């Protein structure tokens, strides 16, 4: 029955503690009264009896406390009491509390929001069943086999067919190719251009996803003779068709062709990325000659491994098949001999992995700086309360108890700060989702249990860190000496603030690291944006046009005529200086390449082929974009349809393939289509991607009628964006149903392609500026404190004849010393760590001496500024007042 | 007394349990009784008596009740529980064994 009694006691102690307290008081009082009675009976007077009894009793409070300490739930009771005391003490100094909470909120908010992003994008597995069994497969092209150096090359459809039919390691393989889709006007809605994908029928089963409505594709849908079928994304269905369940089996017109809607995907599904709105069967879209070729690397392949098969085994299996294909087609140099693979998740987020981790590291730096700042504030507070602590220790306060109170205060501050930080993170995530909806897997970013656990861990870490570090100073000898200090003695020990200066030095060090990273990123971004892409970029407007294949059959006269008329009319518009049309302007991406051989040169050894980026342009394009014509001329007026036999090459193509000779007049033999073209001109290099070196490029006449999509570029002398509407009206005039997409100036287009770098640079710069502000504020605080503590000493010195300038410089030096040490620490740390960001820097060395110098100067200037005010105040001290105020 | 050592604390528990084995008493009476029976040798301080009493109560060896004392004022009377009686037996036996052993060593010439 003992356990029953114990249980009852625990219950009583938990809920009726106050009653127990009162009863204990009563009990002790009774004891005292009995002792007094006994003393009186022994003959003492009333007062004597009482004094003797009390003396024998000892310290009643101590007895009460020790007795109370034996009660159950004592630990919990102590905790609550500590919290109450802590809250009360903090509320007495609201300014301090608010500042500390804000700083913590900043640190916690930043790191939590970035962790949420990292967790969603990088750490969370893809939402497909057994997603670690999914691989992306590539062809491995080398100069000797497959042409060009592309270890992760896209896959040719014929190779895919061979893989699909002969492999033993995959339960299924599927094709994917992104493409744009022009939706015709219907039901009162305007035509629009969307991102879509062409997929093999088995893509959805490979991923392991079922449509939310209707069905996916069957193998019957995936053939050239089948009726057109399409599966819609959930967001597109909601937006365009009002989530109407009757959408199934309705016909919509894409690229002017009819497609029956057979299914709608679930809302969370996005593949290959978040912008894909519809999926169509690939064999239905591309003609047989494309789908049976072995050298047009157009597609991506996704595969699900069979149970028990590893990625290496599967890749080796496919490589064997590729090798066989390569060896049986040795006269085609663009058939790769091996395969390559990457986990699907890595394929989707590989590009953003490093930048995100770097951003995470930067926010962790900010968090540490915030912690150090709060620790500094706590130390300052403890220093101000030294006398109080000393008295409490003298009265019997255990050191552990005082430490616990200190930690409780720190914990309270950090909890409030953490909650505020969580709200801040919420806002930051919302802003992030708003500004970067293009980021891969952006739909996976949201708060969940792991983020909450991370926040709690961060708060606890900060609380312990700030609390323990700032409690360093609380040792007994120091405390007692605080009692010894009379107002007249100015022992230097209490005023040297050594701990605070150390904390400050570390803070400054971390700030320097952040500043270095930010400056390098900013410099890299500037270099990137100022790279010459090879053409005029100011006042150039671009827009993408895609002619629906049904009305504008390629190859044929319809596209050529359209483009010719379009250019004539656009050039006639007022304000248009020049206009041109090309399949892809500089900065718009690699797009595609094509193989060729040089007729006049000896044939290359078997299995070797030459590649150059492929473009189709109108004769006036080069002049319109200011691409210099280095030698020869542009296409002649006769270059139309079947008459086409000319090609213009870029400077790097000339240098690479015609070293030391004149290419004009020589002939290129195109692998694709078996055509021969004569080189008539050499133009300057352009970069297909900003940040990449210019590649050899071949330009073919647009009026051949072989292309039905591309970019229209218009140059003007003044503000070119005003021409957007007139140009679009011209296009509408030619074809009412033709949508136009991506209407951007050249600068906007280039800016879009460098969005990642600019975003990273901006973010880290703001973090660096924040930490600089925090460090400067910390410096200001410490030096003000020192000056205040030393005001008596300084007053004496000035009274004794010290020069004010001397006082100024000495105080300044005292404040700048930790800043200088921090700077050196930071520079060393930067030298050690900046090579981590090397991979995202463009044309910038991580150990750039100019950047080091600028950052050092900036830091010293800020430190000097922060120290100036207290130093000035120190030098302006009125010695009489300073001494009187002791 | 400063903080009681384990030996002293265990011994105090034994003394209290034994004192309560006769009938219920309040804290003052327990201290007085121990003092009396030990011929004024053992003077139990309040600073150790009450923590010991409350600990015994929390652990279930004794139970307490508020009732009127001999002076007419309410006081907290402690009494042994059944488990407490058993504990007293074991503690007394342990003490006997321990003290006999110590005596043997100490009286060894």
Q: Check residue A227 and give left, alpha or beta (phi > 0: left; psi -120 to 50: alpha).
A: beta
Instruction: Give the model's pLDDT for residue B108.
Output: 77
Q: What are the structural domains, with CATH classification, of chain B?
A: 6-106 (1.10.10.10)
Is it the case that residue A619 has pLDDT exceeding 90? yes
Q: Which of A5, A24, A34 sits opposite B28 (nearest CB)?
A: A34
Average pLDDT over every residue of B65-84: 89
pLDDT of residue B9: 66
Q: Is the dihedral of CA B92, B94, B96, B99 positive or negative?
A: negative
- Same structural domain for residues A359 and A491? yes
| Mutation choice for A interface testing from B30, B50, B53, B57 by most A CBs within 10 A | B50
Q: Is the pLDDT of residue A24 over 80?
A: yes
Q: Examine residue A664 and state whether it is found in any structural domain, yes or no.
A: yes
**Is A487 a residue whose pLDDT tops 60?**
no
Residues A793 and A721 in one domain: no
pLDDT band at residue A60 under the 50/70/90 scheme: confident
| Interchain pair A6, B81: CB under 8 A | no
User: Which residues of A sit within 8 Å Cβ distance of B?
Assistant: 1-6, 9, 13, 23-24, 26-28, 30-31, 33-35, 37, 56-58, 62-63, 66-67, 69-72
A490 confidence band (pLDDT: 50, 70, 90): very low
pLDDT value for A217 = 93
Cβ pair A56:B66 closer than 8 A: no
> What is the number of CB-based contacts under 8 A between chain A and chain B?
77
- Domain range for A279 is 157-293+298-333
Chain B's closest residue to A20, CA to CA, is B54
Share of chain B above pLDDT 70, in %: 91
Residues B66, A23: C-beta atoms closer than 8 Å:
yes
A592's tokens: 């595609």
- The answer to whether the Cβ–Cβ distance between B57 and A9 falls below 8 Å is yes
In a domain, A125, yes or no: no
Contact A837, A846 (CB under 8 A): yes
Domain final position from A21, A56, A72: A72
Q: How many domains does chain A have?
A: 4
Q: In chain A, what residues touch B86 (CB-CB under 8 Å)? A: none
pLDDT tens digits for range A432-474 = 888 887 777 877 888 888 888 999 998 999 888 888 887 776 6
Residues in chain B within 8 Å Cβ distance of A3: 60
C-beta atoms of A28 and B66 within 8 A: no
- Asked if the model's pLDDT at residue A556 lies above 50, the reply is yes
| pLDDT for res A314 | 93
Instruction: Name the residue with tokens 């100024």.
Output: A808
For chain A, percent of residues with pLDDT exceeding 90: 34
Comparing CB atoms, the residue among B28, B75, B81 nearest residue A2 is: B81
From CA A743, how far away is CA A762, in angstroms rounded? 25
Residue of B nearest to A29 (CA): B75
Structure tokens at B7: 């030996």
In a domain, A877, yes or no: yes
- Tell me the mean pLDDT in the region B71-95: 91
Q: A-chain residues within 8 Å CB-CB of B25?
A: none
Minimum CA–CA partner of B31 in chain A:
A31
Residue A463 located in a structural domain: yes
Q: Clarify whether residues A509 and A585 are in a common domain.
A: no
A197 with A313, same domain? Answer: yes
Are A569 and A675 in the same domain?
yes
pLDDT band at A874 (very low <50, low <70, confident <90, very high): confident
Determine the 3-state secondary structure of B32 from DSSP.
Answer: helix
CB A133 within 8 A of CB A311: no
**pLDDT of B7 above 60:** no
**Alpha carbon of B81: minimum distance to chain A alpha carbons (Å):** 8
Residue A208 DSSP symbol: T
The whole-number pLDDT of residue A261 equals 94
What is the reported pLDDT for A681? 94
- CB contact (8 A) between residue B27 and residue A27: yes
Residues 6+ apart with CB under 8 A from A253: A183, A184, A186, A259
B5 pLDDT exceeds 50?
A: no
pLDDT the model gives residue A488: 45
Tell if the CB–CB gap between A63 and B46 is shorter than 8 Å: yes
Cβ neighbourhood burial of A341 (10 Å; 0-12, 13-18, 19+): buried
Q: Which residues of B touch A57 (CB under 8 A)?
A: 46
Q: Are residues A381 and A511 in the same domain?
A: yes
pLDDT interval class at A687 (50, 70, 90): very high
Q: State the pLDDT at residue A475.
A: 62
3-class SS string, A107-147: HHHHHHHHHHHHHHHHHCCCCCCCHHHEEEEEEEEECCEEE
A553 shares a domain with A471: no
The secondary element (H helix, E strand) that includes residue A672 is none
Q: How confident is the model at residue A479 (pLDDT cuts 50, 70, 90)?
A: low
Establish if A106 belongs to a structural domain.
no
What's the whole-number mean pLDDT along residues A812-825?
90
Residue-wise pLDDT tens digits, A285-299: 888 888 998 888 889
More confident site: A77 or A163: A163
- Distance from C-alpha of A453 to C-alpha of A196, rounded to nearest angstrom: 38
Whether residue A135 is contained in a domain is answered as: no
What b/e sequence results for A116-140 when a residue is b if at least 16 CB atoms lie within 10 Å of its CB, and e otherwise?
bbbbbbbebebbbeebebbbbbbbb
Q: Is the dihedral of CA A413, A415, A416, A418 positive or negative?
A: positive
Q: Which residues of A touch B27 (CB under 8 A)?
A: 27, 30-31
- Residues A732, A818: one domain? no
pLDDT at B2: 43
Q: Are the beta carbons of A5 and B60 separated by less than 8 Å?
A: yes
- Alpha-carbon separation of residue A349 from A273, A276, A342, A442 (angstroms): 10, 16, 11, 11
Give me the pLDDT at residue A482, please.
64
| A368-386 mean pLDDT | 83
Picking from A829, A764, A822, the residue whose alpha carbon sits closest to that of residue A372 is A822
CB-CB under 8 Å, B74 with A26 = yes
Report the pLDDT value the prediction gives residue B8, as an integer from 0 to 100: 65
Q: Measured between alpha carbons, how far is A207 from A699 in angstroms, rounded to an integer?
A: 39
Q: Kindly report, residue by residue over A746-780, the tens digit of the pLDDT.
A: 999 988 888 888 888 888 898 899 889 888 888 88
* Greatest mean pLDDT range, A12-16, A497-501, A662-666: A662-666
Checking if the pLDDT of A828 tops 60, the result is yes
A378 and A309, same domain (yes or no): no
Measure the CA–CA gap between A142 and A153, rounded to whole angstroms.
10
* Average of per-residue pLDDT across A486-508: 68
- Whether B27 sits inside 8 A of A31 (CB atoms) is yes
Whether residue A206 is found in the same domain as residue A249: yes
Q: Mean pLDDT across the stretch A255-276?
A: 89
Nearest chain B residue to A1 by CA distance is B83
Find which of B44, B49, B51 to mutate to test the A interface (most A CBs within 10 Å of its CB): B51
Do residues A280 and A378 share a domain?
no
**Mean pLDDT, all residues of chain B:** 86
Yes or no, beta carbons of B83 and A2 under 8 Å apart: yes
Which residues in chain B are closer than 8 Å to A22, comparing Cβ atoms? Answer: none
pLDDT at A626 over 80: yes
Per-residue pLDDT at A489? 46
Mean of pLDDT values over A841-853: 86
> Which chain A residues touch B82 with a CB distance below 8 Å?
1
Contacts of A56 in chain B (CB under 8 A): 46
Residue found by looking up tokens 């030698």 in the block: A631
Domain assignment of residue A279, yes or no: yes
Return the number of other C-beta atoms located less than 10 Å from residue A64's C-beta: 17
Are residues A658 and A786 located together in one domain of the fold? no
Please check whether residue A28 lies inside any domain of the structure: yes
Give the Cα separation of A269 and A272 in Å (integer). Answer: 10
Half-sphere exposure of A350 (CA within 13 A, CB side): 9
Candidates B30, B33, B46, B87, partner chain A, best to mutate (most A CBs within 10 A): B46
pLDDT at position A696 over 90: yes
CB contact under 8 A, B61 and A30: no
Domain boundary at A72, A98, A123, which?
Answer: A72
- Which of the residues A7, A37, A54, A67 would you substitute to probe the B interface, choosing the one with the greatest number of B C-beta atoms within 10 Å? A67
Q: Which residue from A2, A67, A72 is facing B50, i.e. has the nearest CB?
A: A67
Nearest CB to A31: which of B46, B58, B81?
A: B46
Nearest residue of chain B to residue A73 (CA atoms): B58
Taking any CB pair shorter than 8 Å as contact, residues of chain B touching chain A are: 26-28, 31, 45-47, 50-51, 54-55, 57-61, 63, 66, 69, 71, 73-76, 81-83
More confident residue, A606 or A494: A606
Reading phi first (left if > 0) and then psi (alpha if -120 to 50, else beta), residue A305 is in: beta
Mean pLDDT of all residues in A216-220? 92
**Calpha distance A545→A523 (Å, rounded):** 35
Q: What is the mean pLDDT of residues A118-123?
A: 87
pLDDT of residue A544: 92
**Residue at a domain's end among A23, A44, A72:** A72
Q: How confident is the model at residue A150 (pLDDT cuts 50, 70, 90)?
A: confident
List pLDDT tens digits, range A648-665.
Answer: 999 999 999 999 899 999
- How distant is the Cα of A391 from the closest Cα of chain B, in angstroms? 22
Q: How far apart are CA A38 and CA A53, in angstroms?
A: 9
């Amino acid at each position: 029955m003992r356990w029953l009694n114990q249980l009852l006691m625990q219950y009583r102690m938990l809920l009726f503690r106050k009653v127990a307290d009162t009863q204990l008081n009563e009990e002790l009082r009774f004891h005292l009264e009995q002792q007094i009675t006994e003393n009186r009976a022994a003959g003492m007077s009333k007062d004597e009896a009482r004094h003797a009894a009390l003396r024998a009793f000892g310290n009643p409070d101590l007895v009460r406390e020790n007795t109370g300490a034996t009660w159950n739930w004592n630990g919990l009771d102590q905790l609550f009491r500590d919290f109450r005391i802590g809250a009360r003490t903090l509320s007495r100094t609201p300014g301090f509390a608010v500042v500390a909470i804000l700083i913590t909120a900043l640190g916690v908010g930043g790191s939590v929001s970035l962790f949420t992003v990292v967790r969603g994008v990088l750490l969370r597995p893809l939402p497909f069943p057994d997603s670690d069994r999914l691989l992306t497969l590539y062809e491995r092209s080398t100069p000797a086999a497959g042409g060009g150096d592309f270890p992760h090359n896209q896959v040719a459809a014929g190779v895919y067919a061979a893989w699909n039919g002969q492999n033993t390691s995959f339960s299924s393989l599927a094709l994917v190719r992104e493409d744009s889709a022009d939706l015709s006007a219907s039901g009162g809605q305007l035509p629009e251009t969307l991102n879509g994908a062409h997929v093999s029928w088995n893509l959805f089963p490979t991923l392991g996803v079922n449509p939310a409505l209707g069905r996916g594709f069957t193998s019957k849908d995936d053939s050239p003779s089948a009726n057109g079928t399409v599966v819609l994304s959930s967001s597109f269905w909601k937006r365009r068709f009002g989530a109407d369940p009757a959408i199934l089996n309705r016909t919509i017109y894409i690229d002017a062709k009819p497609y029956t809607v057979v299914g709608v995907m679930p809302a969370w599904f996005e593949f290959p990325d978040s912008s894909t709105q519809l999926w169509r069967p690939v064999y239905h879209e591309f003609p047989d000659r494309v789908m049976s070729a072995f050298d047009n690397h157009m597609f991506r392949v996704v595969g699900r491994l069979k149970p028990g098969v590893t990625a290496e085994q599967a890749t080796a299996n496919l490589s064997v098949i590729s090798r066989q294909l390569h060896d049986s087609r040795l006269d085609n140099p663009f058939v790769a001999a091996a395969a390559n693979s990457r986990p699907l998740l890595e394929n989707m987020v590989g590009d953003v992995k490093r930048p995100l981790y770097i951003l995470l590291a930067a926010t962790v730096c900010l968090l540490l700086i915030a912690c150090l700042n709060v620790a500094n504030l706590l130390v300052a507070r403890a220093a101000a309360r030294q006398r109080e602590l000393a008295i409490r220790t003298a009265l019997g306060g255990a050191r552990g108890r005082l430490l616990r109170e200190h930690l409780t205060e720190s914990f309270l501050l950090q909890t409030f700060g953490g909650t505020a930080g969580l709200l801040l993170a919420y806002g930051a995530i919302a802003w992030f989702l708003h500004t970067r909806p293009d980021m891969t897997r952006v739909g996976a970013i949201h708060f969940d249990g792991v983020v909450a656990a991370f926040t709690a861990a961060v708060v606890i870490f900060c609380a312990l860190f700030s609390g323990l570090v700032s409690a360093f100073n609380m040792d007994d000898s120091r405390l007692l000496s605080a009692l010894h200090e009379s107002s007249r003695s100015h022992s230097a020990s209490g005023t040297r603030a050594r701990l605070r200066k150390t904390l400050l030095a570390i803070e400054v060090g971390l700030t320097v690291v952040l500043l270095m990273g930010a400056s390098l990123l900013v410099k890299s971004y500037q270099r990137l944006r100022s790279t010459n892409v090879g053409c005029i970029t100011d006042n150039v407007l671009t827009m993408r046009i895609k002619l629906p294949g049904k009305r504008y059959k390629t190859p044929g006269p319809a596209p050529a005529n359209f483009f010719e008329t379009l250019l004539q009319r656009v050039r006639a518009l007022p304000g248009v200086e020049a206009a041109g049309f090309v399949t892809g302007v500089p900065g718009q991406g690699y797009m595609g390449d094509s193989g060729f051989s040089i007729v006049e040169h000896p044939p290359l050894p078997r299995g070797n082929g030459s590649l150059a980026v492929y473009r189709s342009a109108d004769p006036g394009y080069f002049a319109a974009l200011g691409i210099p014509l280095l030698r020869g001329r542009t296409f002649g007026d006769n270059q139309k349809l079947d008459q086409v036999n000319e090609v213009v090459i870029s400077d790097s193509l000339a240098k690479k393939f015609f070293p030391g000779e004149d290419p004009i007049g020589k002939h290129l033999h195109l692998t694709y289509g078996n055509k021969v073209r004569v080189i008539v001109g050499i133009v300057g290099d352009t970069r297909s991607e900003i940040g990449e070196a210019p590649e050899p490029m071949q330009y073919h006449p647009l009026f051949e009628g072989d292309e039905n999509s591309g970019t229209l570029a218009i140059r003007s002398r003044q503000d070119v964006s005003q021409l957007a509407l007139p140009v679009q009206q011209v296009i509408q005039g030619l074809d009412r149903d033709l949508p136009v997409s991506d209407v951007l100036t050249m600068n906007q287009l280039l800016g879009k392609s460098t969005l990642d770098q600019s975003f990273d640079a901006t973010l880290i710069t703001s973090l660096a500026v924040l930490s600089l502000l925090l460090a400067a504020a910390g410096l200001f605080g410490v030096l003000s404190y020192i000056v205040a503590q030393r005001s008596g000493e300084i007053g004496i010195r000035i009274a004794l004849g010290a020069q004010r300038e001397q006082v100024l410089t000495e105080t300044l030096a005292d404040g700048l010393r930790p800043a200088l040490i921090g700077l050196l620490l930071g520079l060393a740390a930067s030298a050690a760590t900046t090579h981590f960001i090397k991979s995202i820097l463009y044309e910038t060395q991580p150990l750039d001496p100019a950047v080091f110098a600028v950052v050092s100067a900036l830091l010293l200037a800020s430190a000097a500024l922060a120290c100036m005010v207290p130093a000035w105040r120190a030098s302006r001290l009125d010695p009489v007042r300073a001494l009187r105020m002791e | 007394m400063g903080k009681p050592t384990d030996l002293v604390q265990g011994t105090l528990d034994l003394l209290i349990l034994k004192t309560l084995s006769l009938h219920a008493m309040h804290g003052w009476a327990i201290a007085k009784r121990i003092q009396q029976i030990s011929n004024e040798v053992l003077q139990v301080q309040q600073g150790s008596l009450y923590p010991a009493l409350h600990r015994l109560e929390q652990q279930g060896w004794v139970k307490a009740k508020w009732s009127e004392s001999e002076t007419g004022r309410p006081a907290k009377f402690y009494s042994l529980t059944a488990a407490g009686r058993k504990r007293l037996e074991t503690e007394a036996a342990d003490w006997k064994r321990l003290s006999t052993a110590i005596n043997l060593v100490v009286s060894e010439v």
